[in-house]
Amino acid sequence: MSNNKKQMSLIAAGSAMYTRKVSVSKDPDFLKVVNLIRGADVSFMNFEGSIGHPDSYPIKPYSFASYFFGEKWIAKEYSWTGFNLTSLANNHMNDWSPESIYESQKQLEEAGIVYAGAGKNLTAAREPGYLDTSNGRVALISIDSSHEQGEFVQPPMASDPKGMFKGRPGNNTIRYNVVIDAKKETIDQLKKIRKELNLENFRGREGDKEGQIFFPNGGNPGITFRESNEPGFATESYQKDVDANLDWIKNAKNMADYVIVSHHTHANGNKKTGPYAETPADFVKKFAHDAIDAGADICLFHGMHGKGIEIYKGKNNEVAIIEKK
C-alpha cells in the first residue's frame, strides 16, 4: 500500500490457532515464512480463540462445536512469528466467559500486538485498534458474522450499557438473515401449507411484511420467503450494524494513514451458486463495497471458506495486497 512518497508493506494471514510453541522450530522453510512476516510493516492474522483464565468457564451455546482454549504463551509466540496486528472478532472468542477475552487482551498488549473486534461492551468491540509504524499509522476495525443458518446460534454479540445495566462483553458483530426468493405461485403454495399446519401464528411472528412470509422450523430460526421473479438463496445484513461500523471506518480514516477492515464469516453462496458454494455471500460482498466507499483501504475476509479477490474502485476488498489508488 502506498501513501504519497512512502510505501507500507502488509502481510495478511487467516485464522491462527497455535497449539504448540513454534519458536523452537529450526525448519528452514518455516523460518523463511517467519522472516517474511517479520519483514512487513504490518503483519495481520485472525486470533481464532481466546486465552484461558482460571476464573473463566464455557458459555458457547452451540449444539455442537469445539471449544478452543489458548495457553498464555500463545501471544508471545504470535509476536515471535512477527504478527503485530490481530482481529478478535470471530466465533471462538466467546467460547469462554468474559474473563478469557480480558486475558487475551492483556497478553496481546504485553506481547506488543494491536487488536480490535471484542471488548467489555459494544463500543469497545467496535472501536479501532491503532498500529504505528515507521511508514505510517494503521487503523484496524474487526467484525464477526460467523453465524451459520440452521446450524449454530449467533455467537454472543456485545451490547452497550443502558441505564443501570452494564454492557455485555463480546464481539463486534454484523448480523444477517437468510432469505429465499421464490416466485408468486410458490409463495401461494407455502401460505396454504402454513395455514393447513396451523403455523401462521408462531412465537410472535404473526404478521408478514409485504411480499414476504415466515415459515417456522421447530426450534430453529425458520426461513423467510420473499416473492421475486429471480428465485434463489440470498443473505441480507442488519443495516444498523452495517451503519455503525461504517461510521467507525469514517472516523478511523481521519485518525490513520490506512484503514484495514477484517471480517470473519462462514457465510457463503448466492443466487447463482446456491447456499454452500465456495463464493462470498451477498451481504459480505456488499459490505466490502460499502467499507471501501466509507474510507477503508483494504478488507480482509477469513473463516472456513475461500473468499476470492476483487478490486473495487482501485482498492482491494478480499485477501490480496495492492497499491491504493
Same domain, 71 and 213: no
235 belongs to a structural domain: no
The mean per-residue pLDDT over the stretch 285-296 comes to: 95
Same domain, 153 and 199: no
Of 280, 275, 282, 283, residue with least CA distance to 245: 283
Of 135, 31, 17, residue with least CA distance to 81: 31
Q: What is the pLDDT of residue 220?
A: 57
Under 8 Å CB-to-CB from 37, ≥6 apart: which residues? 11, 13, 43, 81, 82, 83
Same domain, 15 and 66: yes
Same domain, 311 and 217: no
Q: Are strands 176-182 and 232-237 parallel, antiparallel or unpaired?
A: antiparallel
Residue 89 domain boundaries = 2-174+245-316
R_g (Cα) of the chain, nearest Å: 21
Query: Would the pLDDT of 23 be above 80?
Result: yes
Is the CB of residue 178 less than 8 Å from the CB of residue 110? no
Tally of domains within the chain = 2
CATH number at residue 285: 3.60.21
**Which runs of consecutive H residues, i.e. helices, occur in 6-70?**
28-39
User: Tell me: the pLDDT tens digits for 87-113?
Assistant: 999 989 988 999 999 999 999 999 999
Percentage of the chain lying above the pLDDT 70 cut: 85
Percentage of the chain lying above the pLDDT 90 cut: 58
Map residue 98 onto helix, strand or coil.
helix
64 belongs to a structural domain: yes
Dmax (CA) of the chain: 69
Is the CB of residue 68 less than 8 Å from the CB of residue 102? no
Same domain, 188 and 302: no
Terminal Cα distance for the chain, rounded: 9
Same domain, 108 and 218: no
Same domain, 62 and 205: no
Binning pLDDT at 50, 70 and 90, where does residue 61 land? low
Is the CB of residue 146 less than 8 Å from the CB of residue 265? yes
Q: What is the pLDDT of residue 206?
A: 47
> Which of 69-83, 196-210, 258-272, 289-303 is the least confident region?
196-210
- 166 vs 153 pLDDT, higher one: 166
Q: What is the pLDDT of residue 26?
A: 97
323 belongs to a structural domain: no
The DSSP 8-state label assigned to residue 280 in this structure reads B
Same domain, 265 and 219: no
Same domain, 17 and 147: yes
pTM of the model: 0.88
Distance CA 325, CA 314 (A): 6
119 belongs to a structural domain: yes
The cell for 183 is 416466485
239 belongs to a structural domain: no
User: Tell me: the pLDDT tens digits for 174-233?
Assistant: 988 888 899 999 999 988 998 888 877 655 554 456 778 877 765 556 778 889 998 988
58 belongs to a structural domain: yes
Same domain, 62 and 132: yes
Distance CA 248, CA 254 (A): 10
Same domain, 132 and 191: no
Same domain, 203 and 160: no
